[in-house]
Structure 1
């Protein structure tokens, strides 16, 4: 059985990782690209479909292009997190609302994440977005 200190540390780590994913959503809503990039390790990777970028410079360029006229409102929940020392893996469900080209959009998916503790804080080392659908709200998702 783990020590009480180890169990408390794991709870704190899980909560810090949940907060990291929530901060990502907040930064996306605010279109704060520098803050989004700072949530990744220096060699951090973002994947979404055919997109695969690594490193802060390429992440910044990708988010600059992707955010354009998009006004997303992402919400994440249903976190499953496994912590092993200074590394962790997790998944969380994504519900997405937004506006693209003047049209209300609705989407859903999940993230498959890898995390690394750097300088006492957690960062994304690899984030993979699996998007189930993204359609005009008037069309519906079913």
Structure 2
């Protein structure tokens, strides 16, 4: 009986970790969808109120929900006419039942306001995550930008309609 109980407890821990991995990956997707579709409520929902978003040069670091609002509404969205983020290479490590770190790479294609030339950005996101009251959110995100380059002669153009 004790061995059976231990097996059930181990199974529950594994199941919790799988569900947590899915929830953490969803945060990365909600970041992309929220930012690119300019859905601020969706974007804000991934962050704890006491979060830090360190975007790094040339943008800076932003604290709390007020900082997230400033970064998005006063710095980034006014600069980007459109953007399309793609995240990949997710690695999640648990430091306990309610804490984790994650890393993923991102490619972003977009157009800066007032420019017709496409920009490409490559970066790595390093996250510290916490689960509070059963919900996973980002406590800290550090961004390392590897490149931020224009693609001369390339414009983002919607497909022709017939």
Give the TM-score normalised by the residue count of structure 1. 0.91
1:122 and 1:68 mapped to 2: Cα distance?
29
SS of the aligned residue for 1:102 comes to coil
Give the equivalent residue in structure 1 for 2:151.
Answer: 137
Query: Which structure has the larger Rg?
Result: 2
- Please give the per-residue CA displacement for 1:83-122, whole angstroms capped at 9, x wherever unaligned: 2211110100111111113321111111000111123221
Q: Where in structure 2 are there 5+ consecutive unaligned residues?
A: 1-6, 155-162
Q: Which runs of 4+ in 1 moved over 2 A?
A: none
1:21 aligns with 2:28: yes
1:58 aligns with 2:67: yes
Give the equivalent residue in structure 1 for 2:159.
Answer: none
- 1:34 and 1:60 in contact (8 A); partners too: no
2:66 and 2:41 mapped to 1: Cα distance?
10
- 2:123 and 2:147 in contact (8 A); partners too: yes
Residue from 82, 85, 94 that aligns with 2:97: 85
Q: Where in structure 1 are there 5+ consecutive unaligned residues?
A: none
2:145 and 2:12 mapped to 1: Cα distance?
38
1:102 aligns with 2:116: yes
1:32 and 1:69 mapped to 2: Cα distance?
16
1:122 and 1:72 mapped to 2: Cα distance?
26
Give the equivalent residue in structure 1 for 2:43.
Answer: 36
Which sits farther off after the overlay, 105-114 or 49-58? 49-58
Give the TM-score normalised by the residue count of structure 2. 0.80
Provide the alpha-carbon RMSD of the alignment.
1.9
2:125 and 2:153 mapped to 1: Cα distance?
24
Structure 1 residues 103 and 86 mapped into 2: Cα distance closer, same or farther (>3 Å)?
same
- Please give the per-residue CA displacement for 1:58-105, whole angstroms capped at 9, x wherever unaligned: 210111121114011111011010122111101001111111133211
